[in-house]
Amino acid sequence: MHILIVEDESRIAKRIERMTRDIFGDDLQSIKRINTLHEALKYIENNTLDLVLLDLNLNGESGFDLLTTAVSKSFHTVIISAYKDQAITAFEYGVIDFVPKPFNRDRLEQALHRAITQEKIRSNTIKFLAVKKRNKVQLIPIEDVLYIKGAGTYTELFLTDGKKELHDKSLEKLEQLLSFSFERIHKSYLMKMSEINEIIVESGSKYMAELKNGELIPIGRTKYKDIKAKWF
Amino acid sequence: MNMRLLSYFLLVSIMLLVTACSQNPVFIEYQTLSKIGDQPEWATKDWNDNNWDKKKAVLSSGEVYWTRTPIDILQAPEPLHPYAIRPYIYGEYEVFWDGVLIGKNGNPGKEEILGPEGEMLTTFIIPAHLTEVGEHMLAIRSSIYHFPDHVGMRVDIANYDELLTERLIETSYMHIFAGAFLIASIYFLFLFLGNKKEYPMLIFSISCFLFFVLNLAEFITTYVPIHYAYHHIRLETKAALMFGISFLIPLYFSKQFPFPKRKVFLISYAIILLFTFFIKHNFLDFTSRNMALIMWVFSFGIAIFGIYKRMKGALLIMLTLLISLLINFIISFQVGIFIGFSIILLGMFYLLSLRIKEQRLAYETSLVQSTRLRLALLKKNIQPHFLMNTLTSLIDWIEETPKKGVLFIEALAKEFDLFNQIENKTLIPIAQEIALCRSHLEIMEYRKEIDYSWQDKGIEFDETIPPGILHTLLENGITHSLPKSDNRIDFKLIFESNDDYKSYTFLTFAEIIKERKNKREDGTGLKYVKARLTESYQEKWEFTSEPVDHGWKNTIKIYS
C-alpha cells in the first residue's frame, strides 16, 4: 500500500500519517507527506500510488487542479478539508470520501476503509469522470457515459456520441464510485442501467442487454439473477 | 428638486408676462432741441426755437441750459386720473409743460452754491387740462454741475398711478427673487462652513450673494432717493458685481466639470474679463453686457466639454445657458440679465443638489464598507481554514501532549481576547497590533511546527494603525512561504518617519512558494489592507507588496 498525504499544516499531516500507519499496520509499504501543490502534482505523476489524502487549500491556493488530476488517476482520493462546503464539489468529481476537519481516528479509519475495500457509494453525487488527456484533464459528464468496459488495469468509457475514452481507474474502483446508477453486469462491463432497453435471452443461457441505441452487451451468467431481482 | 425647479420657472414666466403686458405708450416724443443760456420765455409753448441746436448741448460746468421737446399726446387721460411725466436726466432741473412749471428737482444753475438736492428719478403730475390730445411742449431748464458731459434725456409719460406702481411691482418681484438668493447664499455658506472642502458651495454662495446685492443695486432707486451726483457709484457697484458674478460662474462650472489646464484657462479668462471691465469703462451698461456675454461663452464652452465627457448635469447646464440667452434676445437687457442669471444660478443650484446626492450615496457606501471591514476582521477567527485547522491541531496536541495542548489553548485565548478589543475600532495603537501578530505566531507555531520569530525596529508605540492589517500581511507571509533549511521563518517590522510620511516595512525571510512568485493578484487579504488604509487615510497612502531575494517585502506609506 502506497499512500500520499498532501497537507500544509505540519501538525495535521503528522496526525494523519500517524493514524494511517496505525490503521494499516504492516500493509503499508510507503507513506509520503507533501506540503505544496507543485510538488504534489509532480509526485502523483511520477509515482505509483494506492491512495491520496488531500487537503484542498494549500498555501492559500485552491487545490482544484490537483483534485482533477488526482481523480483521473488509478487510485482513490480522500479529501480532508476545513471547508465542508467543498464536499459536494469533491464528490461530484469522484472522490471516494470527504473527511471534514477536525477529525478523529474513527472518521479517518472509515474513510480509509471505504477506499481500500469494495464499499460502494450509495448516493448519486458523482457528476464527472476525469480523463487524463495529453496535457490536461478532461471532465466527462456521467450522463454522457453509456457503459464502461474493463481493459486490463484501465477502463474504456463508451459515450453517447459514439466516442471512447480511456480511464486510469480499474473497473472495480469505478464500480465503487458509480454504483448508484451503474451495475456490474459482466466481469468486463459496468452498465448504466437506465440505458438498457431489454434483456435478450439467447440459446445456451446466453444473456444479452440490448441498449437503447441497439448495441448488445453480454450479461454474466452469474450476474443475471441478481440483476433481474434488483432492476426488473 | 425638479419640482422646485419647475416652480422657479413658473415665477420666471409670470415675470415675463408682466413685462410683456405693459401698455402701449400714450405719447410720441419728437426731436429735442437744446440751447445754453437762461430765459424764462423759453418755457412757452410757441417760442420760436428754429435756431436751437439739434445736437446735445456741450457744457463746461454748472451753467444752465434748456431743452425743448415737442410731444404729441395720443390719448387723453380718464377724468381724475391725471398723467404724469418722468424724465430720465442727469442733473438738477425744472420741468415746464406748455409753459407751466409742473415740477422742480433741485436748483438748476445754483448747484455749486446750494449743494446737491433732488433725486435721480422724479415723477411730476401734468395738470389734467394740459393733457388733451394733440401737440404739447416739454421744456426743461437744467444744469449738470457734477457731470457736465452727461447730457441727454428720455421721458416717460403715463397715468400717474401706473407710473408709480409699475416700477414698484417690478421691484417687488425682483426682490422676491433677491430674497430667495439671499437665503440660498446663507444656506450654502453654512453648508460650506460645515465642510470646508466644498468650494463649489462657497462659490455658489458668493454668486448668490452678489446676485442679491446686484438686484438691490438695480432696484434701489425705486425707494431710496439718490442724487445724480452719486448715481455713478451705484453704476460702478453694479459693474463690479457683474464682474464678480461673471468670473464666479465659469469658475464654478470649472469645478463641477473639471477639464485639463484649468488654471491657465481661468487666468486667461480673468484677464479677458478685466480687459472688458476697464475698456470703455464709462459706458457701464456696455461693459456689463460684454462681461455677461463673455461669461456666457466661457460657461457654454465648459458645459460642452462636460457633455462631451458625459458628466452628470452638463446637459442641463447647457440648456439653462441656452434659455438664458434666448430670454436676453426676447426682453430688454436690464430685466433679461436678471432672469438669465437667475436661470443659470438655478442650474448651478441643481448641480449642487446632484453633488450632495452623490456625496450622500458615497457616505452610505462608506458606512457599508466600514461594516464590511469590521465583519472581515471578525471573520478572521471563525473562517474555517483558521478555525478548523487550529482545532484539528489542538485535538492532536491534547491527545499527544496534553500540557502543550493547554499552552496552545492559552495562546488561542490570547488572540481571541485581542481581537475582541480591536474589532470595533478603525485605528488601534501599533503595540496592540504587534501583540496580535505575536500571539498569532504562537498559534501558528503549534500548528505548523515551524520556528517563527518576530522582530521590530524603530517602532513608536503611540502611533496608530488600522486594525488587522499587519496581522493580514503576517498571515499571507505564513501561508505563502516555506521555512528555510533551519525550519525558521523570520518576520521583521521596521518603522520610519519623516516630515512627509510614515512608513512601515514588513519583511518575511523565507522560501517563497514557487508558483506564487510570478502571479500574485490581490487576494481578499490585500483588498482588506487597502480598504482599511483608504478608510482611515483616504488617498494619502501607498502600499506595495513584492517578492525579494530573502522572501517577501510589504511597505505601507502614510503621507501626512
pLDDT of A207: 87
Q: Which of B388, B475, B508 to mutate to test the interface with A (most CBs of A within 10 A)?
A: B388
Q: Does the ipTM exceed 0.85? A: yes
Q: What does the pLDDT look like over B429-442, one tens digit per residue?
A: 999 999 999 999 99
* Among the listed residues A47, A53, A50, the one whose alpha carbon sits nearest the alpha carbon of residue A19: A53
Identify which has the larger pLDDT, B19 or B367: B367
Instruction: In whole angstroms, give the CA distance from residue A13 to residue B409.
Output: 20
Q: What pLDDT does B312 receive?
A: 86
**pLDDT higher than threshold 60 for residue B14:** no
Chain A hits for B387, Cβ within 8 Å: 82
Distances from the Cα of A175 to the Cα of A130, A145, A147, B2, B218, angstroms: 15, 13, 11, 71, 98
pLDDT at B471 over 90: yes
Q: If you count them, how many residues does chain B have?
A: 560
The model's pLDDT over B229-241, given as tens digits with 9 standing for 90+, comes to 888 888 888 889 9
pLDDT confidence of residue A123: 74
Q: What is the pLDDT of residue B518?
A: 45
B387/A82 Cβ within 8 A: yes
- Name the pLDDT band for B1 (thresholds 50, 70, 90): very low
Q: How confident is the model at residue B18 (pLDDT cuts 50, 70, 90)?
A: low
Give the SS3 label for residue A104: coil
Query: Could you tell me which of B96, B78, B76 has the C-alpha nearest to residue B87?
Result: B96
Kindly state which CATH superfamily the domain B383-559 is placed in.
Histidine kinase-like ATPase, C-terminal domain (3.30.565.10)
The dihedrals phi and psi of B345, each to the nearest 5 degrees, come to -60, -35
Distance, CA of A196 to CA of B530 (rounded, Å): 60
Instruction: Tell me whether residues B391 and A37 touch, CB distance under 8 A.
Output: no
Residue B294 has pLDDT above 60, yes or no: yes
Query: HEC profile for B209-253?
Result: HHHHHHHHHHHHHHCCCCCHHHHHHHHHHHHHHHHHHHHHHHHHH
Report pLDDT for B9.
60
CATH class of the domain whose range is B31-151: mainly beta
Q: How far is B452 from chain A (nearest CA, A)?
A: 14
Q: What does the pLDDT read at residue B517?
A: 42
Say which of B385, B392, B482 has its CB closest to residue A57: B385
Q: What are the chain B neighbours of A84 within 8 Å (beta carbons)?
A: 384
**CA–CA distance from B271 to each of B246, B267, B274 (Å)?**
12, 6, 5
List pLDDT tens digits, range B442-466.
Answer: 999 999 999 999 999 999 988 999 9
Measured in whole angstroms, the distance separating CA B555 from the mean position of its chain's CA atoms is 40
Facing residue for B480 by CB, picked from A14, A15, A59: A59
Identify whether the C-beta of residue B301 lies closer than 8 Å to the C-beta of residue B289: no
- As a whole number of angstroms, the distance between CA B331 and CA B93 comes to 31
Quote the Cα angle for A175-A180-A182, to 5°. 50
Q: Which residue has the cell 456521467?
A: A142
CB proximity A36 to B under 8 Å = yes
Q: ∠ CA B470-B474-B477 to the nearest 5 degrees?
A: 140
| pLDDT, greater one: B12 or B45 | B45
Nearby residues of A106 by Cβ (< 8 Å), 6 or more positions away: none
In angstroms, what CA-CA distances link B342 with A226, B208, B324?
Answer: 94, 9, 8
Among B379, B391, B393, most A C-beta atoms within 10 A, so best to mutate, is B393
Q: Along the 232 residues of chain A, how does pLDDT read in single tens digits?
A: 899 999 999 999 999 999 999 999 998 999 999 988 888 989 998 999 999 999 988 877 777 778 888 888 889 999 999 988 888 888 888 899 999 999 999 999 999 998 888 777 777 788 889 888 887 888 899 989 999 999 888 899 999 998 989 998 988 889 888 888 888 888 899 998 888 888 888 887 788 888 888 888 888 888 888 887 777 6
Residue B538: partners with Cβ closer than 8 Å, 6 or more residues away:
none
A107 touches chain B (CB under 8 A): no
Query: From the candidates B380, B391, B396, B452, which should be mutated to test the interface with A, based on the most A CB atoms within 10 A?
Result: B396
DSSP strand pairing (A97-100 vs B428-429) = unpaired
Q: Which of B388, B449, B479 sits opposite A59 (nearest CB)?
A: B479
Could you tell me the pLDDT band of residue B543, with boundaries at 50, 70 and 90?
very high
The mean of the pLDDT values for chain B is: 88
Residue B357 has pLDDT above 80, yes or no: yes
Average pLDDT over residues B351-379: 87
Taking 60 as the threshold, does the pLDDT of residue B20 lie above it?
A: no
User: Would the pTM of this model clear 0.80, i.e. be above it?
Assistant: no
CB contact, 8 Å: B408 with chain A? Answer: no
Provide the pLDDT for residue B174: 86
Is B511 touching A (CB cutoff 8 A)?
A: no
Indicate the residue type of B1: M
Q: Do B515 and A10 touch (CB under 8 A)?
A: no
Contact B78, B169 (CB under 8 A): no
8 A C-beta contact, residue A12 and residue B399: no
Predicted confidence (pLDDT) per residue in B115-130, tens digit: 888 888 889 999 989 9
